[in-house]
Amino acid sequence: MSAGQSPLISVIVVNWNRCALLRACLQSLKRQAGASLEVIVVDNGSQDGSVEMAAREFSGFVRLICNTENRGFCAANNQGIRAARGAFIALLNNDAEAEPCWLSALQGAFAAGPEIGMAASKIVMYEDPGRIDKAGHLIYPDGQNRGRGTGEPDDGRYDRPEEVLWPDGCAAMYRKQMLDQIGGFDEDFFAYGDDAELGLRARIAGWRCLYVPGAVVRHHRGSTLGLASSRRVELIERNRVLLALKHFPWSLLWLNGFYYAARLAHGAWSSAHGAGETARFQGIGGKLRLAGALLSGDLQALGMVPRMLRKRREMRKLSKLTPRQVRALVLSNRISLSELTR
C-alpha cells in the first residue's frame, strides 16, 4: 500500500539464527492489508543464512541492519527504532506470524485518544491457535510478569477491546511520539522482561495501553532459548529484580522478598504436582540447575543495584503517577499465584 493513505508503520523484526522462522514471519508481513508499512530486520550476527535469505527473497521489501554479534533484543530493537521513519513502531518476533489485518487493527487503537501510547495483540500459540499465549500483560508484586490469559482457551473471553497494563513485545505497537519522550528499551535488560520495563515506564509517564482482540498473531513459544533454558531463567530472574528496583514504590520494594518467597513456594508445590514451568526442569539435576540459574540472576541484579537506583532517580522527571498510584496500578493488574505457576 502506498504511503499517504495512512500513517506509516515501521515494523521491526529482530533475528538471531532463525532462518526458516524469519522467512515465515516476513511472508506474513507481506500479506498485511490496510496499512502502510516499512519492515526493518535487525540481525544479531546470525550464521545460518538468515541475512542472505532476507536479502534474496525479500529484496525491496525489507531494510536490513546487520550486527556482527548478538547485541540482544533491547539494543537491536533500539537500532530499528532509530532507523524507523513511521509514526508508529510495531514489533514482531521472528518466531511469530501475523494475520493479514494485524497492523491495521493495532493502528486503529490509537484513534481512541492521544494518551494511547501502546497497543497489545491477541497472541495465540502456533501449535494450538485455539489457546491464548498472551492478551496483554499482568504482573506479580515481586516484579515477575506474565501474559494475561496464558494457556487459556480462546473461547471468547478475550474478545473485548479493553485497557491492559502493557503489550507483549512479541507483537506490539507503540506511538513513536511516546518513545521519543520516554526513550526506547533499557539495554541493561538485554532480553526478557524488557517489554515489561518499557511498558511500566510508559504507564508511569502517563501513557495508556489498549488490547486489540482483532490483531491476531501466532507464536512459536520459547524458540529463542527454549522454555527449559537456564540462561532464560537467569535473565528473567535478574530482570524482574531490576524492574522492581527501577520502578516499584518503596512500599512494594520492602515486601519484595516476601512475595518472592511465596512465589517460589507455590512454584515448588505446583512442580511436585507436575504443573508450572518449574516442572520443565526434571529430576534433582534439573532442580539444581534451576536453583543455580535463579541464584545467578539474583547475584547479577545485586551488582546492578547502583545503576538501577540512578535510573530510578532519573524517572522522576518523566513520572506523572505518584508512588501510591504506581502501587495501585501494579496491584490492580496483579496475576494470581495459581495463574503464574500454571
pLDDT digits (tens, 9 = 90+) for 266-294: 888 877 766 666 666 667 788 788 889 99
Residues 175 and 201 both lie in one domain: yes
Question: What φ, ψ does residue 267 adopt, rounded to 5°?
Answer: -65, -40
Rounded to 10°, the helix 283-303/305-315 angle is: 60
Cβ neighbours, 10 Å, residue 152: 16
DSSP bridge partners of 67: 44
Does some domain include residue 75? yes
Does some domain include residue 325? no
Summarize the confidence of residues 105-113 as an average pLDDT. 97
Residues 211 and 113 both lie in one domain: yes
Using one digit for the tens of pLDDT, what is the confidence trace for 66-102? 999 999 999 999 999 999 999 999 999 999 999 999 9
Residues 13 and 78 both lie in one domain: yes
Residues 166 and 32 both lie in one domain: yes
Q: Find the domain containing 96 and state its range.
A: 9-219
Q: Report the predicted TM-score, pTM, of the whole model to 2 decimal places.
A: 0.93
Cβ neighbours, 10 Å, residue 187: 15
More confident residue, 289 or 205: 205
- Average pLDDT value for the chain: 93
Give the total number of structural domains in the chain: 2
Residues 80 and 175 both lie in one domain: yes
222, pLDDT greater than 80? no
Residues 69 and 210 both lie in one domain: yes
Residues 242 and 182 both lie in one domain: no
